[in-house]
Amino acid sequence: MIKWKKFTIPLTSMDFLDVKLKIENNIVEAFALNYRTKIEESFYEVYRVDTAHGFLHEQRYWITPEPIPIPAMGKDLNDIFNFYLDQIKENFERYKKYYLDRMKLR
C-alpha cells in the first residue's frame, strides 16, 4: 500500500522544515525535505534535498537553484532520509546565514 505523508516541523518561529514522504510497506520510496525561512513578510527556500527528477539531489539556494546530484552508494532511502533530516535540523542556522550573506538580506 502506497501512502504519501506531508507535514511541517517548526525549527523556530521563523524557520520550517517541510517533509513529504512516499511510503510503501513501511519503506521510504521517495521524499522531499525543504527548509524555508521567513524574512520580513516573505518565505524563502534555503535548502532542499529530494528524490524528484528520478535521482537523489540537493539544492543549496545560496549557491544555485540547480539540483546537485548526491550519490546514494547503495544506501536505502530510509537511512538517507533520516540522515538528511538530522543534518537539516542540526545545520539550518548555518544554511540560513549562508543564504542571508549571499542574498544580501541582512
- Mean of pLDDT values over 6-28: 95
Per-residue confidence (pLDDT) for residue 67, from 0 to 100:
93
CB atoms under 10 Å from CB of 96, counted, come to: 23
Instruction: Report the first-to-last Cα separation within the chain, whole angstroms.
Output: 47
**Quick one: which of 61, 50, 46, 60 has its CA closest to 20?**
50
Run of H or E including 7? strand 2-10
pLDDT band at 54 (very low <50, low <70, confident <90, very high): confident
What pTM was estimated for this model as a whole? 0.91
- 11 to 4, 42, 45, 48: CA distances (angstroms): 22, 17, 14, 15
Query: Mind spelling out the 3-state secondary structure of 16-72?
Result: EEEEEEEEECCEEEEEEEEEEEEECCEEEEEEEEECHHHCCEEEECCCCCCCEECCC
The pLDDT value given to residue 72: 77
**Residue 105 confidence (pLDDT) above 60:** no
Instruction: Please say whether the beta carbons of 44 and 61 come within 8 A.
Output: yes
